Amino acid sequence: MRTPLDTLTELAREARDQAMQHLASARRDERQVADQLSSLEHYRQEYAERLHQNMRSGIDPATLHNTQRFLLSLDDALATARRALQQQRQKVSDSQREWQHEQQRLSAYDTLADRRAQEGLRLQARQEQRSSDDLINSRLQRGSAMPSGY
C-alpha cells in the first residue's frame, strides 16, 4: 500500500530526474556555444593573419577596407558569442543548483522513510517481545497453579 510519503518520494525523484535532464541539456548547450566561440576565434585569427600577410605583400585600399570591416563584424560576432557563453554558463550554474535542491529534497524524504521503517521494526520487535513475555508468563502461571506432586 502506498503511503503519502511514498507519493512525495516518487514526486521528488521525478523532479530530481527532470532537473538532471535540464542540467545535462544546459551542459550540452554550453559545449556547443563554446565550440562555436572557439571556431569563430580560430576563423578570426586566420583571417587577421591573412590580412597581415597581404599587407606585407601589398593590398589595395578597397580590399583593406573591406577586410577590416569584415574583421570588425567578426569581433561583434565574437562579443555576442562570448555573452551567449556567459549566459549559458549561468544556465548551467542555475540548473546545477536546481538539481542539488531536488536531490536534497529527495534525500530528506528517503531519510524520513528510513526512519519510519526503523521505527516500524522497533515496534514490531517490541510487540514480539511482549508476545513472548506474555507466553512465558502464562506458562509460568500455569506451572505454579499445578500441584507439586505431579
Task: Please compute, for residue 37, the number of CA atoms within 13 A of its CA located in the half-sphere on the CB side.
Answer: 16
Please give the single-letter amino acid code of residue 127. Answer: Q
Assign domain 4-112 to a CATH class.
mainly alpha
Q: Where are the domains of the chain?
A: 4-112
Predicted confidence (pLDDT) per residue in 42-79, tens digit: 999 999 999 999 889 988 999 999 999 999 999 999 99
Calculated CA dihedral for residues 100, 104, 107, 112, nearest 10 degrees = -170
CA distance linking residue 129 with residue 10, whole number of Å: 34
Percent of the chain with pLDDT over 70: 95
Residue 82 Cα distances to 38, 59, 77, 94, angstroms: 10, 31, 9, 18
**Which pTM was predicted?**
0.72
